[in-house]
Amino acid sequence: MKLAVAFGANCFFAFMLFSAAASALAEEPAGSLTAAAEKYPENQPRMETKKFGLVIHGGAGTIERTKMTPEKEREYRAGLERALTAGYEILKRAGSSIDATEAAVRVLEDDPHFNAGKGSVFTSAGTNEMDAAIMDGKTLAAGAVASLKHVKNPISLARLVMEKSGHVMIDGEGAEAFAKENGMELVDPKYFFTQERWDALQKIKSAEKSRTSGAGKAFLITDQDRHGTVGAVALDENGNLAAATSTGGTTNKRPGRVGDSPIIGAGTYANNATCAVSATGDGEYFIRASVGHDMSALMEYWGLSLKEAAQTVLDKVAKLGGTGGLIAIDHQGNVTLPFNTAGMYRGYVDPNGKFVLEIYK
């Protein structure tokens, strides 16, 4: 039995038409804009028109306009724009959705404003532990890493796991040894220190102490203090979908705690038959709701539209008590970016090639 497929207008659009180019794509990770420009020269032959699309997020949470300074907002927007540019430059040169999502996420990992890579939050032990995953919708190949302490760009290690390890998920020291074997950039844990994340940890610890001692001192702990994540989903002009997600997890998490981002079918999922999804929010709830795979299954088995499926799974998360959001794109280039928090850092490329960046509801 199929449910009626309603074509919702909100956040949906047919994506840009662009000429297809030869798709001889090399294997090494994309990474930077310079790498993208070298790998995908503008003058590749273009034969037919096809569509592609890209959506990114930089985390959902209590993001209030009144608490944001114009300067800070500019910095967040600039970070999102750089990430969209990195992915878009690859897609418009007929590059793959895997390369585009990896490149976009690497930019966000290098930006201290976002909770991933450089800007990762702290565990209760005052350390940083990062998780990431990437999935190829064409082959259903996936790679995931968890509890990393020294890897500058966890998303690239996730990709390496997908392409070279013969496994889907590797965590901790084993993952870092695999990174080293493959010449990946490792950094001193000090690299991940940011004052803002450290202060958020102290605030949460003080709130906890106050609660357990019965002192009753009030601390305003926002979603922003607690979590955040970055992600990208893309459709390339060969019709292939990909999803990539990277995170520092949740502030004050126990060392060893793993969230939804590296769990294939929870925070990250891609299937050419349906959609590509990257989630952000309270990982425990997104795991319990099997967000990514549930969404794909609703589309594949029940015929729900992208938007209907996304809202259904987000409602399931909310019913369990979880907050957050997700970004998703389907094989036709429709996109949706729902969230149940005050805001979500997010962006996509509109049908005219214009970058749309949004933060608040």
By annotation, the residues acting in catalysis are: 229
- Indicate which single residue of 120, 229, 246, 252 sits in contact with ligand GLY (rule: CB under 6 A): 229
Q: Does 227 bind ligand GLY (CB under 6 A)?
A: yes
Phi, psi (deg, nearest 5) at residue 340: -115, 25
Q: Burial letters for 103-139: b for 16+ Cβ neighbours within 10 Å, e otherwise?
A: bbbbbbbbbbbbbbbbbbbbbeeeebbbbbbbbbbbe
Q: Is 240 in the site for ligand GLY (CB under 6 A)?
A: no
C-beta of 36 vs 157, nearer to ligand GLY: 157
247 contacts ligand GLY (rule: CB under 6 A): yes
Rounded Cα gap, residues 271 and 139, in angstroms: 8
The position carrying tokens 């209030």 is: 64
Of 92 and 227, the one with the shorter C-beta distance to ligand GLY is: 227
Question: Tokens 């999922």 correspond to what residue?
Answer: 269
Q: CA–CA separation, 175 vs 172, rounded Å?
A: 5
85, 156, 250, 305: which one contacts ligand GLY (CB under 6 A)? 250
Of 36 and 134, which has the nearer Cβ to ligand GLY? Answer: 134
CA angle 171, 150, 116 (to 5 degrees): 80
Phi-psi region of 318 (alpha: psi -120 to 50; beta: other; left: phi over 0): alpha
| Shortest reach from residue 6's CB to ligand GLY, in Å | 29
According to the binding rule CB under 6 A, does residue 120 interact with ligand GLY?
Answer: no
Q: Taking the complex as a whole, how short is the minimal distance between the CB of residue 303 and ligand GLY, in angstroms?
A: 28
One-letter amino acid of 12 = F
Nearer Cβ to ligand GLY (224/240): 224
User: Amino acid identity, residue 65?
Assistant: R
Looking at 186-194, 246-254, 331-339, 342-350, which segment touches ligand GLY (CB under 6 A)?
246-254
Q: Check binding of 259 to ligand GLY (CB under 6 A).
A: yes
Shorter beta-carbon distance to ligand GLY: residue 94 or 317: 317
Give the three-class secondary structure for 144.
Answer: strand
- Closest separation in Å from C-beta 229 to ligand GLY: 4
User: How many CA atoms, within 13 angstroms, populate the side-chain half-sphere of residue 225?
Assistant: 15
Q: Does 154 bind ligand GLY (CB under 6 A)?
A: no
Binding mask 269-308 for ligand GLY (x = CB under 6 A): -----------xx-x-------------------------
Give the count of residues interacting with ligand GLY (CB under 6 A): 12
Q: Does 249 bind ligand GLY (CB under 6 A)?
A: yes
* Residue 326 β-bridge partners: 279
End-to-end Cα distance, the chain: 35
Q: Is 136 in the site for ligand GLY (CB under 6 A)?
A: no
Dihedral of the alpha carbons of 296, 301, 304, 308, in degrees to the nearest 10: -50
Non-local (6+) Cβ contacts of 263 within 8 A are: 133, 144, 287
Nearer to ligand GLY, 283 or 333 (CB): 283
Q: Which residues bind ligand GLY (CB under 6 A)?
A: 227, 229, 247, 249-250, 259-261, 267, 280-281, 283
